[in-house]
Amino acid sequence: MLALIVVGGGAYAVQTTALSPASAADDTTSSRELDAGRQLFLIGCASCHGVNAQGIGTKDDKNYGPTLIGVGAAAVDFQVGTGRMPMAQSGPQAPRKTPEYDAEEVRQLSAYIASLAPGPSIPSSEDTDYEAASTEDVREGGEFFRTNCTACHNSVGAGGALPDGRYAPKLDGVSAKHIYEAMLTGPQQMPVFGDSVITPEDKRNVIAYIKAVQDQPNYGGLAGGGLGPVVDGLFTWVVGIGVLVGFAIWIGAHGARVKKKR
């Protein structure tokens, strides 16, 4: 397990360095970057979010695309970085998919939106360094996770259903940074867990717990994807009863008479 974390973490460290500078709203952000972000925004986002990211309403006062002023770099990094934005089609919820923009473009878009108004910035690699979490931290993170997250995301992060076709997505293979940003910005149906509700350190611990649970082997054999008793019931009837009834048929098909070879 330890080896898994180290290997996974190594790959992750490479990814985060590629994404630095950590905070897109820093003063160091060049104006060229902002311009590039604005250009990308006008092409890919403005049709729904408005040319100045002020949002577009519909005739009956509903939201065509929400305003992005003040959502911060973290929201953009999450939505675009996980492929949720731009949406391929309208629906109850924007699904996670292969990102349309590469890391640099995401950074430029984030920088542009962050420049419009202050908002949550992209977490630093220190904030998401879950490998540094001690055993106590992981345990603490588990407590936060069970109290705040499992009701929708399931105890091993397998996801769950929400009303009207919406859902809490599974947390499998989601990077620590994106989990952090989701907590920070509350995308789509998710509530916002600001830093005053769950401190950055606790956020890191929650991530450490999720990763610890997901990286461990399936103790006890073939697992049903963390979906619980429904899958167990399926196995009971299809595999268990199926095979045992098969054996009953096999035993019943063999009479007691000794077959004589002619």
* Chain residues that interact with another protein, rule: CB under 8 A: 92, 135-136, 138-139, 142-143, 146-147, 150-156, 158-165, 167-168, 209, 212-213, 216, 218-224, 226-233, 235-237, 239-241, 243-245, 247-253, 255-256
Backbone torsions φ then ψ of 161, nearest 5 degrees: -90, 145
Indicate the residue among 43 and 238 with the shorter CB distance to another protein.
238
For residue 132, give the nearest of 218, 63, 201 by alpha carbon: 201
Token pair in block for residue 53: 């990211």
Residue pair 123/184 in contact (Cβ under 8 Å)? The answer is: yes
Indicate the residue among 118 and 240 with the shorter CB distance to another protein.
240
User: Which residue carries 């519909």 as its tokens?
Assistant: 58
CA separation, residue 22 to residues 19, 68, 113, 139 (Å)? 7, 20, 15, 28
Minimum separation from the CB atom of position 162 to another protein (A): 7
Indicate the residue among 102 and 220 with the shorter CB distance to another protein.
220
How many residues make up the chain in this entry? 262
Minimum separation from the CB atom of position 3 to another protein (A): 15
Minimum separation from the CB atom of position 78 to another protein (A): 21
Amino acid, single-letter form, for residue 62: K
Indicate the residue among 14 and 161 with the shorter CB distance to another protein.
161
Minimum separation from the CB atom of position 208 to another protein (A): 9
What DSSP designation does 137 have?
H
